Structure 1
Amino acid sequence: MRRLASLTALLAATGSIAYAQNTLPQVNDAYFRSAQAALQERLRMSPNTNRAKNVILFVGDGMGISTVTAGRIYEGQKRGVDGESNSLAMEKLPYAALSKTYTHDAQVADSAPTAVAMVTGVKTRNDVIGVNSEVEVGDCAGSKGREVLSLAALAERAGQATGIVSTARITHATPAAMYAHTPHRDWEADSNMPPEAIAAGCWDIAQQLAAWPHGDGFEVILGGGRDRFLPETENDPEDKDRKGSRKDGRNLVQEWQNRYSNSGVFLWNKEQFDKLDSKTPHVLGLFERSHMRYEADRLKDNGGEPSLAELTVKSIDMLRQNPNGFFLMVEGGRIDHAHHDGNAYRSLEDMVAFDNAIKAALEKVNLDETLVIVTADHSHTLTISGYPKRGNPILETIIEPDGKPKLGKDGKPFTTLGYANGPGAVKENEPRPTPANTTSPDYKQQSLVPLDSETHGGEDVAIFAGGPWAHLFAGAVEQNYIYHVIDHATKLSERSGLRAAQ
C-alpha cells in the first residue's frame, strides 16, 4: 500500500512540474517547432484561381517516390548538409498529389502511354503514342482516325509559343507524346519501321516532328537524337566517323530549316547554344546522335553539352517572347536509363540535375501566372532499406544507429539502395559478393531477380505543383487528370477552338 501511495505521489509531482505553465512538454522541441512553422505557412496559403498564362510540365522519367527520397538525401549529402531533412526544389512547391500510372492494358507502364496520358487526357496502351486505347501496338492501318491531340498542339492553335526539352532523344517516348501519332514508340526513324508500316502510310516520329502542322511549329526543340534526322549517307557533325540512320535519304534538319526560310537555327554543341539569341524565332538543338550524356559524364562530351538547367532557362527566355504565353515540357530523361542499368549513382546525379532545372525555372517565372507541375511518368524498382543510421552515405553499405554494420545472413554487408530486379543480381549458384567501392560511377546496386535491364515499377508517383489552379492536385488521381487540370487552368482547348464537351 505504501508503495502504491509513493507511486501516486511521484506521478502527481511530475505531472504538476510538467504542466505547471499549462504548456505541452514538447513545445520547445526543434521538430515540434518546425512542424508548427510548416502548419502556419500552410494556413496562410490561398488558392490561385488566375488563368495560367504559361505552363511548364517537368517530367522526371522513372522518378518514383524512392528516387525522390534517395535524391533528396544524395543532394543534401553532396552539399554537406543533413540529407534526410533536406528539401529539393520540387518539394517546395505548395501542392502535391499521387498519380496512378497504370495504362489501358498494363499494371506497370512504359513511358509512351504515361506521357500521352499527361498531355492528351486519355489513357492508352503500352508502346503507343498519340493514339487512343483502341489502337493495337504496331497496327498502322488501325491507328488512322484514332489520333489524340496534345496540349502542345492546342497551345499552338491558341497562338502560344511551345517547347520541348529532353536529355533523351527528342524522338523518344516522352517528348514524342507532344507531337507524334504512332502505333509503335520505336518507330523513331524510317530505319526503325517495318516496310509494311511505311507502305500503309505511317510516318516515323522524326518525320512527324519536322513537319508538325500545328501553328508555326515548336519554337524550341532541344535534346538528343541527331541520327534519326540525318541520312545514312551523311557524316554526323560531331562524330565524324558516324553517319545518320535514315534510309530514305532525307535530311530532316534541312527540311526543318527550309520550313522557316532558314530563320530556324540548328545547333549541336554548347558553343553554339551559348551564342543563341533568345529572340531567335525557332531553334532545333540536337546535342548527341542518340541520348544526351548522363549528367555525371556531360563534361566529357567532345562538342560540349548544356546542362538541363541551362536548356530550361534558355527555353523560357525564348518562349516568353510570345505575349500570349507558352507551354513547355522539360524531361529529365536519363534518370530512367541509369535505373535500367542498375546504376543508382548516375540516376541520382541526373535527378539532381533535373531538380536544378526546376530551381532555375522557378527563379525565372512568376507563379501568379505560370503553372508549374513536376511529376514522373512511372517509377522503378529502387528500394531504400536496412535501418542505416542518420547521415549514412546513401550510396554506401549500411551502418546502423549503434555504429555496427548491417550484415546479411551470409555475414556480408549490403547497400541501402537496391533493386528488385536488374543486372546487379547474383548469378545462380554464385556467392553474393561483398560490395566494394559502392560510390564508383559504374557500380551496379544489388538486385533480386537477374535481368539484363531493370524494369519499371508500378506504384503511384508524386505530383508537385504551384501556380494557378495548382490546388486541384490533391489526393490520389489518375495520371490523365494532369491534362485536365492544365486545360482548366489555361482554357487551351476552348481558346484553340476545340472545346471539350462538358
Structure 2
Amino acid sequence: MTFRRITPLLLAACCAAMPALAQAQTKPQARNIIFFLGDGMGPTTITAARIYKGGEDSLLDFERLMERTARIKTYSNDYQTTDSAPSMGAYMTGVKMNNDVISMKDARPVNPNKDGVDQCGANNGSAAVTILELAKARGKSVGSITTTELTHATPASTFSHVCSRDAAYTIAQQIVPGGAGYNPALRDGVDVLMGGGRNHFTPRDEATNPKGRPDGRDLMAEFAAQGYYVAGTRAGMMSARAGRKFVGIFSATSHLDYSYQRRPEQPTLAEMTGKAIDLLSANPNGFFLMVEGGKIDHALHDTRAKHALEETVAFDEALALAVERMRAIDPGLENTLIVLTADHDHTMQINGYAKRGNPIHDIVRDYATGQPKQDADGKTFTTLVFGNGPNRPDARADVDSVVAQSDDYHQETGVHKSSETHGGGDVKLFATGAGSAPFKGTIENTQVFQLMKAAAGL
C-alpha cells in the first residue's frame, strides 16, 4: 500500500477550501417554512389511513409529494414515552424538556392553580426560544393553526412558555399584544392564529360561559383593539384579507369537531391552511407556519380508530393543498421548506392476517374464503386493536362487522385503562423543498429544530 505525501501547500489549499465548502452546504435556502404536526400519527396510523383512503397499494399525499424521509426518536427529558408538550417543544426549540412543560428549559412541571393560571415560580427554568420567535425576529410573518384548542400543548409550544400545559388561561394571555402577561419575544404579535377553545379568551359567566376566564379579561376584544381581524366562524375566516393580523377561534368551548361531524360554521383544516398561507405569504421576508392535525390524537386516546383515520386523511388533504398553493407561489419550492411529522406514537396495531382488500376497520377475514377469522376462543376480532384503553371486556364476544365499521365503534384493548396512552416508538418524518436534503436517517426530535433553523438561516 502506498500513501500520497500531503505537502504543506496542498494541506493549506485544502483547509482554505473547507470553510467555503461548509458555507455552501449550510447556506440558508428557505424563506418560508411550513411545519405540519399530526398529533399521535404513528407509523401504524399512517399505514391504516393509507389503506382506508386508497387501498394497500396506494399512497397518502404526503407520502407521494415529499421525497425526504427520516425516523424521529420521541422520548422526553424524563420519560421513555413523551406527552405532546415536550415533544413539540423539542421540534420548536431544540431542547429536551420534561413531560407537561411548554417550551421551558430546565423546568420541572408544576400544576396550575384551580383557575388554570401558571404556577411555575422563581428559579424554575427559563424560556427556550422557539423557531416561531426566531422567524418573527427576522421580520417574517408567523402563524399557528390547529384543530384543537388554541391553548393546547402543540400550538402553545410555538408561542408560549409555561411550566404546565394545563395553564390555559396563562397561555392565552401570552399571545395578546399589549396585555398583562404578554410574551414580548412575539414582538408585534403572531400574525395568524386559528383553533378552538374561545372560553380561555373570554370572561367567565356562570350562566353563559362557566369555563371562561376567572380574571374577567376579554382577550378577543383586546385582540381587536390591537388591530387583529377577529372571527368565530368559517365565513368570518374566509373574509379575512392580507394586511391585518388574524385570529379565528371556531369553538366556544373545547376543541374543533371531528371531521365527520363538523358543524358548518367550522372550517376544515385544509381551509384553515389555505387561508393562513394567503395571509402570511404577502410578506416579502417570508413566513413560518405551524399546522396541527390534533384530533388524530384525541380519536386514538378514545380507541375510535375510524375517527383517527378520517382525521389523518383530513390532515393529508391540508398538506396537499399547502404544497399546491406554495408551488403556485414558489415554483419548485426553491424558497420553501415543508416538514411533516408526528410528536409521538400510540398503541394501535394492525393484526390478524386479514385478506387484502378487507376494510382496515372491519373484522379480520380469511383470504381464501372471505369468512371471518376467529381467535383461540372461537370469537371474531378486528384488524385494528389497541395495546391499552377503555374497551377491554371481561369475556370476549363476537365482534359484528357492521358495528365494527360504524362511526362510534371503540376497538378492543389489551390492558384496561380509562384512556389509551401514547406509544414510545419512533415516528416518521417527511420533508420537501428548500433545505430538505439533511432530513434523513434516525435522528433526535431536537435535531429537527436545528435543521429547520439552518435551512432558514435563523
Give the TM-score, by structure 2 length. Answer: 0.87
Task: Determine if the alignment matches structure 1 residue 267 to structure 2 residue 255.
Answer: no
Counterpart in 2 of 1:84?
56
- SS of residue matched to 1:140: coil
CA distance in 2 between counterparts of 1:476 and 1:145 reads: 29
1:69-128 CA-to-partner distances (Å, cap 9, x unmatched) read 00111111xxxxxx1111111112010000000000000010000000000001110000
Q: Distance in 2 between matches of 1:48 and 1:409?
A: 58
Alignment partners' CA distance in 1, 2:410 and 2:77: 33
Aligned residue runs from structure 1 range 330-369, under 5 A: 330-365=291-326, 366=330, 367-369=333-335
In 1, the alpha carbon distance for the partners of 2:334 and 2:397 equals 54
Alignment of 1:36-47 (within 5 A): none
The amino acid of 1:470's aligned partner reads S
Is residue 2:93 matched to residue 1:117? no
Question: Can you list the C-alpha shifts for 1:253-300, whole angstroms capped at 9, x where unaligned?
Answer: 112222x2xx311111112122222x14111100012100011111xx
**Does the Cα contact within 8 Å between 1:152 and 1:327 map onto a contact in 2?**
yes
**Secondary structure in 2 matching 1:164:** strand
Distance (Å, rounded) in 2 between the aligned partners of 1:182 and 1:101: 21
Letter aligned with residue 62 of structure 1? G
Gaps of 5+ in 2: 1-24, 112-118, 177-181
Preserved contact between residue 335 and residue 347 of structure 1 (Cα < 8 Å): yes
- Cα distance in structure 1, aligned partners of 2:421 and 2:210: 31
- State whether residues 259 and 268 of structure 2, in contact with CA within 8 Å, keep that contact through their aligned partners in structure 1: yes
Residue 182 of structure 1 corresponds to: 162
Match of 2:345 among 379, 399, 420: 379
| Contact 1:374–1:465 (8 Å) recurs in 2 | yes
Alignment partner of 1:327 out of 288, 301, 304: 288
Deviation at 1:242, TM superposition (A): 4.1
Pair member with larger Rg: 1
1:53 to 13, 31, 38: 31
1:432 aligns with 2:403: no
2:44 paired residue number = 66
1:392 and 1:481 map into 2 onto residues whose CA distance is 39
Mapped partners of 2:385, 2:365: distance in 1: 15
The yes-or-no answer on 1:232 pairing with 2:201 is no
Q: Deviations over 1:390-445 (max 9, x none)?
A: 1111110111221242210111111111100111211x3x3434335111110001
Task: Quote the RMSD (CA, aligned, Å).
Answer: 1.7
User: Which stretch shows the higher mean deviation, 312-321 or 214-223?
Assistant: 214-223
Q: Assess, with a 3 A threshold, how the Cα gap between structure 1 residues 329 and 143 changes in structure 2: closer, same or farther.
A: farther
Return the offset for 1:475.
Answer: 0.9
Which residue of structure 2 lines up, in the alignment, with residue 282 of structure 1? 245
Residue 215 of structure 1 and its aligned partner are, at CA, apart by 2.6
1:297 and 2:261 are equivalent in the alignment:
yes
Count how many residue pairs are aligned between Structure 1 and Structure 2.
Answer: 412
Partner in structure 2 of residue 6 of structure 1: none
Determine the structure 1 residue equivalent to 2:7.
none
DSSP-derived class of the 1:462 partner: strand
Q: Distance in 2 between matches of 1:100 and 1:333?
A: 20
Contact 2:26 2:454 in 1 (8 A): no
Q: List per-residue Cα deviations over 1:198-235 (Å, max 9, x = no partner).
A: xxxxxx11111223322321110011110000111388
Match of 1:310 in 2: 271
The answer for the alignment partner of 1:399 in structure 2 is: 365
- Please give the residue correspondences for 1:196-215 in structure 2 after superposition, counting only pairs within 5 Å: 204-210=170-176, 211-213=182-184, 214-215=186-187
Q: How far apart in 2 are the matches of 1:405 and 1:48?
A: 56
> Which sections of structure 1, spanning at least 5 residues, go unmatched?
1-46, 77-82, 190-203, 236-240, 493-502
Within the alignment, does 1:151 sit opposite 2:131 as a pair?
yes
Q: CA deviation at 1:243?
A: 4.8
The CA distance in 1 between the partners of 2:259 and 2:27, in whole Å, is: 37
User: 1:478 Cα shift?
Assistant: 0.2
Whether the 8 Å CA contact 1:230–1:244 is kept in 2: the answer is: no
| Change over 3 Å in CA distance of 1:231–1:433 after alignment to 2 | farther
AA partner of residue 266 (structure 1): V
- Judged with a 3 Å threshold, the aligned counterparts in structure 2 of structure 1 residues 174 and 59 are, in CA distance, closer, same or farther, namely same
CA contact (8 A) 1:50 1:369 kept: no
Contact 1:136 1:142 survives alignment (8 Å): no
Q: Which amino acid aligns with 1:285?
A: G
Query: Could you tell me how far 1:134 is from its partner in structure 2?
Result: 4.2
Paired amino acid for 1:342: T
1:419 pairs with one of 371, 378, 386: 386
Q: Contact conserved, 2:228 with 2:245, CA < 8 A, in 1?
A: yes
Q: Distance in 2 between matches of 1:435 and 1:419?
A: 18
Match of 1:218 in 2: 190
Q: TM-score, length-normalised on structure 1? A: 0.79
- AA of the residue aligned to 1:157: A
User: Which residue type is aligned with residue 90 of structure 1?
Assistant: F
Task: Give 1:108's aligned residue.
Answer: 81
Closer, same or farther: CA 144–58 of 1 in aligned 2, 3 Å = same
- In the alignment, the residues of structure 2 paired with residue 372 and residue 206 of structure 1 have an alpha-carbon distance, to the nearest angstrom, of 27
Contact 1:265–1:280 (Cα < 8 Å) also in 2: no
**1:298-332 Cα shifts (integer Å, max 9, x gaps):** 1xx2x611100000000001000100000000000
Work out the percentage of aligned pairs sharing the same amino acid: 42
For residues 49 and 335 of structure 1, the distance between their equivalents in structure 2, rounded to whole angstroms, comes to 36
Is the CA contact (8 Å cut-off) linking 1:159 and 1:215 kept in structure 2? no
Tell me the CA shift for residue 144 of structure 1: 5.1
